[in-house]
Structure 1
Amino acid sequence: MYAPQEDTGLLTEALSEEPLPPGADVLDLCTGSGVLALTAARRGCRVTAVDVSRRAVYAARWNARRAGVAVRVRHGNLFEPVRGRSFDLVLANPPYVPAPGGRAPRGPARAWDAGRDGRLVLDRICHEGPGLLRPGGVLLLVHSSLSDGGRTVGRLRAVGLRAAVTRRCRVPLGPVLRSREEWLRARGLLRADEENEELVVVRAELVR
């Protein structure tokens, strides 16, 4: 299972600043070890967490039990386990790393690989996520600038949400990006002298 990284920390900061009443219904997509789900649960929210990895589901359940907080953890592909439900807040830290080759990722790579443009999962969230928000509900989504934050904002605005990049930070290239650095530079996603990537949090609200 993929250990929490800087993107999780950035999204946790955004979550900490989001005003949420006790009992708010929160969905944590691609929960991984459940860091964000546990953070929301400690604020008194009713939290559902989803991950496609069974190992992540078991880890999130164990971490919630050990922390003494209530989190419903479901195994499934993005929104499938929560069809027909709606939420006050949707959190998402999906796979977003551009990857060579056309095949869907398998094994541990499902936690980061997301097609040649890095948007295999992001575009699904932009398309389907707004339908799960209640009036006034918020989507908080983190990803790399390599997968085009402007495109994320544009897609969310196109479906009627008020969206903007609200947090940014630059981090050194990690092992996955280093391993495909030459390919990324050849595609123009990394400049020749660039040794960092920018992470962004997009906040999108369904205006009442």
Structure 2
Amino acid sequence: MDLKQTRRRGDELEAALLDAAWQQLTQSGYADFTFEAVAARAGTSRTVLYRRWTDREDLLKAAVRRAGARAPIELPDTGNLRDDVVTLLHRASEARADFAVTLSVQLAEYFRETGTTFANLRELLIRRGRSGMELVLERAQDRGEITLEGLTTRVIELPLSLMRHELLWTLTRVPDDVIAEIVDDVWLPLLRARGALRDTVSTDSP
């Protein structure tokens, strides 16, 4: 799309530029992710890009952030902790599988060049404030299913961390049985062992 012909301005123009940058990255890879290529794809000039981003790493991070924000994950509210977390993992896997594959495959050279990892880039996608897992657990605490006192961030985020590891390892959506195993056989028993679960919460799947 020629941005000059559409005469876009401000946020609309920036969004279109970042969409073109993401397309360039996903279709041609990091080696061909240049200001020249992105400008050509967007139908504009390099100057327009340089007014907004200092270098291609800056542009890449902005494109990744926008692409990640396009598929927000709706927080579940099933009425019980176990089903909330299983549903959250399922939604996260569905929403992020293709995105994670793109980052893993297309950005291998970027990670080598910059000495960074997927974890560093993931920080761009973490919204400010409380995470989805924290919000889900806060609801469960309000229902009397759990106490968050003494739980570290690593323990709270463990289900998503294990799901993400599986996703990046297999480069495909995480199967339902694996998600259930993460929650039922790993995470809920850990919470019970730490005294965080109330007696009303089962560690068995329905």
Identify the TM-score tier after normalising by the shorter chain. under 0.3
Higher Rg of the two aligned structures: 2
- Report the TM-score when normalising by structure 1: 0.25
Which structure carries more strand by proportion? Answer: 1
Which structure carries more helix by proportion? Answer: 2
- Report the TM-score when normalising by structure 2: 0.25
